[in-house]
Amino acid sequence: MTNFDDLEPLAQSVLEGIITRFIHNPYAIIGYGEGGLAYQNMSLPPLSQALSQAQIRIKQRARLQNLTLIASYNVWRDMLKSGAFERIGRDVGDINVDIYISAQGVDIAIIESVLDSIISTLPTSVVSVYKNCRF
């Protein structure tokens, strides 16, 4: 698990802005990276666990407004290969999905290809993508 205090000040600022928008919303799920994030006195689950939580809520017809997923390119690529987005995409309804991707040193065409694949699995959602985030 990544510790928030160990991140660079710029990364802390960016992440804090993202997290504080949704952290107290019971209808939002936030996932961070491969191992999660220790933030203040709570922890954010890793991307895979956040997707599983979203899938459970959707199948139970529980309310889900926003799914915020924050990770590096490598984590996104691995999640796409695992089929996690296809599983959630079959059941997803009208939720907002915010995708934050950090991809320093990765060709933009490769990033676009991965993002297109992810977005195509979430056909009825409103998907916002933020590329080349520094965290």
CA–CA distance, 87 with 47 (Å, rounded to integer): 14
CA–CA distance, 123 with 38 (Å, rounded to integer): 32
Residue 135 lies in a domain: no
CA–CA distance, 29 with 24 (Å, rounded to integer): 10
Residue 47 has a pLDDT of 92
pLDDT-derived band at 10, boundaries 50, 70, 90: confident
CA–CA distance, 77 with 110 (Å, rounded to integer): 10
* Number of domain units in the chain: 1
- Residue 67: what are its φ and ψ, rounded to 5°? -120, 110
Name, in order, each residue with C-beta under 8 angstroms of 94's C-beta and a sequence gap of 6 or more. Answer: 124, 125, 126
* Residue 98 β-bridge partners: 68, 128
CB 89 within 8 A of CB 123: yes
Structural domain that includes position 51 = 2-130
Name, in order, each residue with C-beta under 8 angstroms of 72's C-beta and a sequence gap of 6 or more. Answer: 33, 101, 102, 103
Query: Bigger pLDDT: 129 or 8?
Result: 8
Structure tokens at 9: 């000040």
Residue 135 has a pLDDT of 66
Residue 12 lies in a domain: yes
Residue 35 lies in a domain: yes
Write out pLDDT tens, residues 26-83.
999 999 999 999 998 999 999 999 988 988 888 887 788 899 999 888 888 888 777 7
Residue 37 lies in a domain: yes
Structure tokens at 113: 């290809």
Residue 96 lies in a domain: yes
